[in-house]
């Protein structure tokens, strides 16, 4: 059943005959609309009505399961999944729900029965991993390790299998065997994820190998430690084993399988699939903050900002990764339109984490987007003061503050910040473009501006805005014919941007292609430019660019045309 696209499950017919027969046309259509909108609460409400009266509708039951899982309401999911399986349907969605139910209730023999009956995820390696973990949970360690031995040479899943074999030894308390496997995995650069490294560190700490753990921490992370790793280093130095291991149970290990699936599906499957597996990982391991963050991020991608905000709030303030949740929550609040809530969340974060530069930078950028430029500058000042003067990543702070100064017409300060950003990161195309474009608009240092923008185009040839800048500097330098191909290319790359289309109209007018200029100006108007720009474009449509320039006291185009 699940082989059909998830959001099309309810659109195979306008109203299925069975639904019409039971008088369920209204709920069916309402559920269909809600499913397309990814309104999981409304969808599940109407689907519940359909399913309660039509137990033969497997599609509706599967979609109801997905909606409930998206909401994180698993207790409502399990009876529906039982109905789907009892009806003889081969449903991956129902199987996932029943696997989650068995693990949550520590019914590992029941889980073995499900997997032996072919009611797994539908991927051989994943199902075998689940079966191995189920055997660990059921106390049959030999069967578990035998299953892992059979999987160890599977490609491209060899790294995943090795990681889970190490986790099994870790959960069973055989930390020495776990470390041997981690060492083997670590031979491949980048093979160990952040979570895997933390588990490895905890294995070493559990053996009393604190010096070795400190060396591993230094090798992988150096001095660039977030709050979680900072606390871990403090525990290592104090020879103190954390009260709770990251992966401390079979349920945690199985949650790690589902998290791996969610991460793998993130770039190649519908969001509902990713969300389903992330939610299961979250259910099975309440401390799996990465699964919680992934769940929230997927919900944000779906436009479900209120749900995403609630998920972020699941991470408590005393959690070392709380700052990431708050940054995500602020982003979700802003995207939902609650800018004031986002700003307040970030202000609170700067109070609770007063040395976290990223919190200040995010707050400053939101204030800048809201055109509260002076407030943004004050926040960026704090962030820059916290930063190392030679920290190359600080270019972002100088760049953002420079934009705020430029918007306030404080050009000397803006120019200083843009050049400081370039000192830290000389080939940063965004800075090269912004500074170059600003110089063009001010009609100063045009040769330098041209060189900067040409360099930015070389670095980002597919950026329509940067290509537009190159065409515009040539226009400002009265090299109209040379500007045309660049501005045409920019309009191809950014076909619905009003400024890019307006610029193309101007250069067409300058080279005598006046009918095409009118067309581009009309296009620019259709893309909702700012009111001042819209008024200027309307004036150009009425009297032409030459008259507008004359009214503005600007240099006439005719000088350049005669020079050509």
Note the pLDDT tens digit of each residue in 493-534: 999 999 999 999 999 999 999 999 999 999 999 999 999 999
pLDDT for 152 equals: 81
CB contact at 8 A, 198 and 232: yes
Of 109-113, 122-126, 189-193, 322-326, the one with minimum mean pLDDT is 189-193
Sign of the alpha-carbon dihedral angle for 169, 172, 176, 179 = positive
Cβ neighbours of residue 146 closer than 8 Å, sequence gap 6 or more: none
Within 10 angstroms of residue 128's Cβ, the number of other Cβ atoms is 19
Where does the pLDDT of residue 452 fall: very low under 50, low under 70, confident under 90, or very high at 90 and above?
very high
Residue 439, pLDDT > 60, answer: yes
The span from the CA of 279 to the CA of 282, in Å, is 5
Can you give the pLDDT at residue 560? 44
The mean pLDDT of 36-60, rounded to a whole number, is 86
Q: Where are the domains of the chain?
A: 1-90
Residues 6+ apart with CB under 8 A from 143: 132, 135
Q: Please determine, for residue 268, whether its predicted confidence score (pLDDT) is greater than 70.
A: no
CA nearest 16: which of 66, 53, 65? 53
Task: Read off the pLDDT band of 542 (50, 70, 90).
Answer: very high
> How many C-beta neighbours within 10 Å does residue 361 have?
23
User: What integer pLDDT is reported at residue 23 of this predicted model?
Assistant: 58
Query: Does residue 109 register a pLDDT over 60?
Result: yes
């Amino acid at each position: 059943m699940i082989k059909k696209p998830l959001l099309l499950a309810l659109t195979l017919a306008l109203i299925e005959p069975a639904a019409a027969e039971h008088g369920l046309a209204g709920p069916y259509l309402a559920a269909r609309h809600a499913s397309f909108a990814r309104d999981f609460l409304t969808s599940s409400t109407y689907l519940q009505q359909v399913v309660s009266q039509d137990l033969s509708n497997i599609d509706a039951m599967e979609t109801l399961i997905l909606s409930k899982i998206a909401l994180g309401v698993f207790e409502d999911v399990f009876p529906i999944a039982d109905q789907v399986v009892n009806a003889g349907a081969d449903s991956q969605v129902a199987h996932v729900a029943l696997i989650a139910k068995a693990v949550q209730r520590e019914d590992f023999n029941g889980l073995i029965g499900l997997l032996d009956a072919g009611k797994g995820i539908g991927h051989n390696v994943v199902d075998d991993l689940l079966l191995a973990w189920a055997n660990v949970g059921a106390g049959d360690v030999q069967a578990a390790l035998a299953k892992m031995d059979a999987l160890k040479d599977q490609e491209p899943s060899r790294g995943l299998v090795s990681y889970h074999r190490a986790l099994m030894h870790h959960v069973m308390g055989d930390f020495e065997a776990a470390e041997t496997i981690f060492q083997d995995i670590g031979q491949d650069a980048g093979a160990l994820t952040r979570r895997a490294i933390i588990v490895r560190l905890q294995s070493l700490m559990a053996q009393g190998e604190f010096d070795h753990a400190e060396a591993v921490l230094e090798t992988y992370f150096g001095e660039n430690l977030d709050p979680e790793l900072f606390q871990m280093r403090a525990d290592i130095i104090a020879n103190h084993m954390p009260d709770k291991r990251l992966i401390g149970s079979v349920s945690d290990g199985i949650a790690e399988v589902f998290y791996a699936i969610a991460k793998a599906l993130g770039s190649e499957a519908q969001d509902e699939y990713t969300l389903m597996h992330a939610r299961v990982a979250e259910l099975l391991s309440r401390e799996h903050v990465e699964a919680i963050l992934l769940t929230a991020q997927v919900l944000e991608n779906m436009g479900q900002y209120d749900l995403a905000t609630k998920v972020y709030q699941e991470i408590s303030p005393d959690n070392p990764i709380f700052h990431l949740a708050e940054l995500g929550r602020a982003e979700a609040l802003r995207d939902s339109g609650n800018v004031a809530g986002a700003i307040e969340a970030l202000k609170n974060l700067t109070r609770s984490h007063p040395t976290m530069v990223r919190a200040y930078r995010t707050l400053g950028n939101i204030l800048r987007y809201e055109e509260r430029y002076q407030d943004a500058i004050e926040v960026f000042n704090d962030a820059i003061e916290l930063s190392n003067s030679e920290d190359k990543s600080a270019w972002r702070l100088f760049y953002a503050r420079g934009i705020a100064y430029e918007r306030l017409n404080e050009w000397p300060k803006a120019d200083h910040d843009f050049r400081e950003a370039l000192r830290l990161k000389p080939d940063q195309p965004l800075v090269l473009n912004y500074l170059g474009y600003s110089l063009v608009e001010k009609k100063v240092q045009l040769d330098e501006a041209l060189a900067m923008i040409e360099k930015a185009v070389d670095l980002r040839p597919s950026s329509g805005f940067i290509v537009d800048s190159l065409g515009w500097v040539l226009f400002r330098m009265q090299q109209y014919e040379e500007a045309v191909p660049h501005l045409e290319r920019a309009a191809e790359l950014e076909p619905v941007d009003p400024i890019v289309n307006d610029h193309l109209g101007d250069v067409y007018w300058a080279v005598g292609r006046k009918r095409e200029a009118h067309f581009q100006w009309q296009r620019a108007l259709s893309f909702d430019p700012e009111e001042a720009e819209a008024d200027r474009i309307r004036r150009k449509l009425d009297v032409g660019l030459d008259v507008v320039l004359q009214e503005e006291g600007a240099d006439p185009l005719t000088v350049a045309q005669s020079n050509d």
